[in-house]
Every structure is written in C-alpha cells, then in structure tokens.
C-alpha cells in the first residue's frame, strides 16, 4: 500500500514512516517544514519513497500526490498549548483549514482511506466518580482555585473529593483550549468527509506521546520534551501544580504501530463513518512520577515542583485502550520504565 503521511518529517510522522516501510508499505512524506515546528532542518526519513515539501493547505500540491497513493495518514498539525490565545488563528488554519483542504483534495482524487491523528485533549477532564453521586463531570477549574493551590476538581453536586478513572471513547467531548477545539473539529470534518465520500476513516486519540526525536525548546512541545530539554542543560525539570496530574505516557513506536494497524484494517471497516480509538499505554502515571523517572535515568537533578499552572490544562486524563486492542489487536509494547530510560539517553531534534 502506498500511503501519504502528512507531517511525515515530524516527531510522530517520521516514526510512522519507518513503521510503514518495515511492514512493506510505501510511505510518501508531505511536510511544510513550518518554522513553528522546526527550528532547524529535520532529518528526512530514509524510509520514505517520495518527499514533497508542501503544505496541507496547498490543494494543488495535494491533488497531484493523492492521485499516486492508496491511503492517507494525517499527522500534520500545530500541537500543544502554545503561548496564549493569540495563537488561535494559527491553530485553526494549520489544523482545521489544513484538514478541510486535505479532505476536499482526497474527495477530488478518489482516495477513500484515512487515519487521523486525534488527541485525548478532546475529552477535557477525564473520568471522575463521586462516592455519593457516582459518575460526574466537573467543570473547568477556576483560576482562583489554581492560584490558591487547589488543583483537584471537586464534585459539582456536593463539593466532595473525586476518584479519577479511565476514559473510554463513549465519553462526551469537552475541549477546553484552542488546540483541543481544533482536534475535535478535525474529527467532525473527517466524519463529514466519510459520509459524503463513502470513505473509511479512523481517528486515533493519542495520549501523551514521548520518545526519541521529540522536538526541543518550542512552545508547542510536550511536557516530556520540556523535562528532557532541561536535563540536557543540566537543569532540574520544573513540574507544574503539585506534580499529581495523572496522564498516560505512550511511546512513539507504539503510536506508530497503532497507525499501521489501523491503516491495514481500513479495508475491512464500514465506509461512511469515523471510528474513534483511544491510543494509550494503559499504565497511568503522574507528571511528577514521569519527571522523577526521567531525571533518575538521565542522572540529572531531581525535579522541582513549582505550583505554577496553565489555565487550559486539565488535572487528570487517562485512557482505556480496550477498544483498540479488542477490535484491531493492538497493544502497547514499551513499558514506562523501559521507555523513560531510553528517552533519557536519546537525542531531541532541534525543533
């Protein structure tokens, strides 16, 4: 199968290119190499059979390459929380306009198979249970509470403490920052495309992806990259809030494998609908635990808990990936300790 990988020069995209080639597929890379994503020239994935330096918002370039491929793995996006709401036009342009142009071009070229890089951020806060009220959905955390160091969401019914749990794909979406809103819009667009074009589409809702080749020192990098960059400078990782935020850290090779499995399974999927799968390790850890594991493996200074916060962040979000395992046979292979030890030794790319 000849597969177009948008954003194929990036962190996750380049690993997908490698995984596709290892399975005998022909990956074609399309990447705009935007300066917001790359502060230095990326290494071109050697496994790519073709390389197109173009933007997903360039419909003419897309149609030309789409006539030569069988499926699309759409990774191109502006990621992370950025530096403030002033980034909103860039997020919407890159993520949503780019996806709309890609899907319109796919319809024009007759390409009917799509795997989308989704994100767990569409859920907002994760699953919570109250001993008195059962399953509840706390609203966004108030700035006054965060400023006072009250980080845990409370039951909206009784104000009591909540127990966080695993989110499944049937939980309602509740995006709470611009990036999350654009990722949800990408899914809506993909679902509309599938219906209109009788296409087969899958969204893999990635949890916190980490691993070799993460970008360093950009406002759009993930927390694991920030911690790893600090250790490379000989500095202590700075952990926001109290470090108790629960996340699911999933290794980039496992995410790449999930994309290949999803692509290979598209032929057997029902056309006209978008299927959604959480893509996480199934092994929740706190941000503080991750920072400590990384610092110990690197041999650098121990993390510093700062009490700082970002208003768009959520407290706990961890996944159940049972659907992906049950329907497609995928499961994470890289354990937390093993993955963090490798990441501590591996290099980061310049941007």
Q: In the annotation, is 210 catalytic?
A: no
**107: helix, coil or strand?**
helix
Interior angle at CA 218, CA 30 and CA 145, nearest 5: 125
For the chain, how long is the longest CA-to-CA vector? Answer: 59
d(CA 45, CA 55): 17
Of the candidates 94, 102, 76, 90, which has an alpha carbon nearest to the alpha carbon of residue 12?
76
Give the span between the Cα atoms of 332 and 277, in whole angstroms: 13
Nearest to 96 by CA among 54, 52, 56: 56
Q: Are 118 and 186 in contact (CB under 8 A)?
A: yes
109/54 Cα distance (integer angstroms): 17
The enclosing H or E element of 324 equals helix 322-328
Nearest to 216 by CA among 38, 40, 351, 346: 351
Which residue out of 38, 179, 210, 220 is catalytically annotated? 179
CA-closest candidate to residue 106, choices 148, 65, 142? 65
Catalytic residue IDs: 179
């Amino acid at each position: 199968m000849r597969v177009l990988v948008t954003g194929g020069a990036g962190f996750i995209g380049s690993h997908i290119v490698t995984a596709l080639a290892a399975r005998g597929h022909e990956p074609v890379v399309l990447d705009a190499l935007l300066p917001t994503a790359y502060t230095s020239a990326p290494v071109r994935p050697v496994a790519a059979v073709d390389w197109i330096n173009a933007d997903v918002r360039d419909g003419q370039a897309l149609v030309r390459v789409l006539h030569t491929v069988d499926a699309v793995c759409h990774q191109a996006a502006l990621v992370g929380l950025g530096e403030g709401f002033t980034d909103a036009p860039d997020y919407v342009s890159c993520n949503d306009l780019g996806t709309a142009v890609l899907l319109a071009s796919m319809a024009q070229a007759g390409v009917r198979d799509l795997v989308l890089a989704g994100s767990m951020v569409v859920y907002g806060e994760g699953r919570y249970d109250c001993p008195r009220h059962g399953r509840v959905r706390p609203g966004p955390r108030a700035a006054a509470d965060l400023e006072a160091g009250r980080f845990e969401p409370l039951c909206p019914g009784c104000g009591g403490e909540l127990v966080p749990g695993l989110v499944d794909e049937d939980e309602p979406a509740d995006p709470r920052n611009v990036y999350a809103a654009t990722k949800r819009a990408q899914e809506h667009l993909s679902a509309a495309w599938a219906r209109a074009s009788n296409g087969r589409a899958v969204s893999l809702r990635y949890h916190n992806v980490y691993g070799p080749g993460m970008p360093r020192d950009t406002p759009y990098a993930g927390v694991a990259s920030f911690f790893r960059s600090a250790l490379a400078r000989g500095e202590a990782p700075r952990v926001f809030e109290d470090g108790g935020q629960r996340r699911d850290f999933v290794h980039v090779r496992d995410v790449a494998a999930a994309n290949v499995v999803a692509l290979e399974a598209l032929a057997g999927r029902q056309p006209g609908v978008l299927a959604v799968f959480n893509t996480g390790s199934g092994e929740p850890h706190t941000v503080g635990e991750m920072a400590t594991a990384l610092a110990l493996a690197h041999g650098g200074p121990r993390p510093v808990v700062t009490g700082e916060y970002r208003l768009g962040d959520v407290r706990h979000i961890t996944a159940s990936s049972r659907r992906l395992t049950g329907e497609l046979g995928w499961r994470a292979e890289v354990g937390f300790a093993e993955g963090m030890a490798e990441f501590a030794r591996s290099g980061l790319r310049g941007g």
